[in-house]
Amino acid sequence: MGWSLRTFEAHPEIARIQVVIQPDDRPLYDRSTAGTSRKLRAPVSGGATRQASVLAGLEALSDENPDAVLIHDAARPFVGSSIITRVLAALATHSGAIAAVPLADTLKRATPTGTIGATLDRKGLWRAQTPQAFKFADILGAHRNAARHGRSDFTDDAAVAEWAGLSVALIEDTADNSKVTTADDLREADIRLGGIMEPRTGTGFDVHRFTDGASVWLCGVEIPHTHRLEGHSDADVGLHALTDALLGAIGDGDIGQHFPPSDPQWRGAPSRLFLEDAARRVRMRGGRIANVDVTLLCEAPRIGPHRPQMQSVIAEILGLGPDRVGIKATTTEGLGFTGRREGIAAMASALVMLPASN
């Protein structure tokens, strides 16, 4: 699902994204969407059929009453930006438009015994795909009417629209926008995704001095201490270094460029906001974070007791397993500003997988 979401997030004509899930899948959903943009609304629970789930999603969007809506199967991770643009453009002249592929294979009708009974004319036949775009009021009304009539047998939203008498255009797509449903599909998807990705590494370094206070923020965890770290935000030196490591991996500047200290809106801000933004930038490029590693340099406070919580916080922000988050700490044997307990430094590294064409 994360692959599909990233394409829609990056598209300039998409304002909101509403995902429909089964409640039991919420942990998987949270991991897939960690660090995504604010276009994403809270998920809603689906129904027993695809049709019921789509209606649940449409009802959830009714509070915004958009002009148009795109309905997409999350199991199609290779959807392209071009087809999104083209199905939306078709709404200028039609009530709906769907991605589709003209049939190229010869069609056979089987007999009850499994032999060929007839060869069908494939002329004018198309294979329906998603996204499927509709004027919002039209498709919501069609789905509501179908539910009132007890119809739950429609296999896609274009069929609901056809039943309601709406005009739906066929917009030619490619077979690359395939649906992942079987074990063979999953293996092929892994090959396609793995084959087009390349590793990128980034590093980050940050320092903050101590000032009067009673606690420090380190890697997203507040730790009682004799001082606090001085900074425009919460001065979380670990998250700042890690943010720069992610930005470095994708060649997108540094934390000061995106969140300048001169901007008053970041005064006292939690540094997880910066890390979330860096993770979003990775995903907007079609990338994924493979693992991250942070080293804290300080004489005090002690990091060991807080390491599991730090791993958990960073893993949650980045949508990773805790085993993909390294947290280490070391002293400088009394040498330098950290040895003199004047402040804390942090180093971080990140491995990001990006499409090779980027």
Q: Which tens digit of pLDDT belongs to each residue from 308-335? A: 999 999 999 998 888 899 999 999 999 9
pLDDT of residue 35: 62
Lowest mean pLDDT among 113-117, 135-139, 285-289, 340-344: 285-289
Cα–Cα distance between 83 and 133 in angstroms, integer? 10
Q: Is the pLDDT of residue 182 over 80?
A: yes
Q: Return the DSSP state at 214.
A: S
pLDDT of residue 358: 43
Contacts of 263 (CB under 8 A, 6+ apart): none
User: What is the average pLDDT value for the chain, to the nearest integer?
Assistant: 91
pLDDT of residue 19: 95
pLDDT of residue 284: 82
Looking only at the bridges linking them, the beta strands covering 197-212 and 107-110 are unpaired
pLDDT of residue 10: 82
> Taking residues 120-149, what's their average pLDDT?
95
> Taking residues 330-355, what's their average pLDDT?
94
Looking only at the bridges linking them, the beta strands covering 325-330 and 288-297 are parallel
Look up the pTM and report it.
0.57
Q: Which DSSP string do the residues of 178-240 spell out, in sequence order?
A: ----SHHHHHHHHHHHHHTEEEEEEEEEEEEEEEE-SEEEETTEEEE-SEEE--SS---HHHH
Classify residue 84 as left (phi > 0), alpha (psi -120 to 50) or beta: alpha
- Work out the pLDDT band at 357, boundaries 50, 70, 90: low
Cα–Cα distance between 139 and 144 in angstroms, integer? 9
- Work out the pLDDT band at 7, boundaries 50, 70, 90: confident
pLDDT of residue 36: 63
pLDDT of residue 59: 97
Q: Return the DSSP state at 111.
A: P
Cα–Cα distance between 266 and 269 in angstroms, integer? 5
Percent share of the chain, pLDDT over 90: 73
For residues 102 and 10, which has the higher predicted lDDT (pLDDT)? 102
pLDDT of residue 198: 83
Which tokens in the block code for residue 342?
A: 């004047």
Which tokens in the block code for residue 107?
A: 């069609």
pLDDT, one tens digit per residue, over 187-239 is: 777 767 655 678 999 999 999 999 999 999 999 999 999 999 999 899 999 99
pLDDT of residue 240: 97
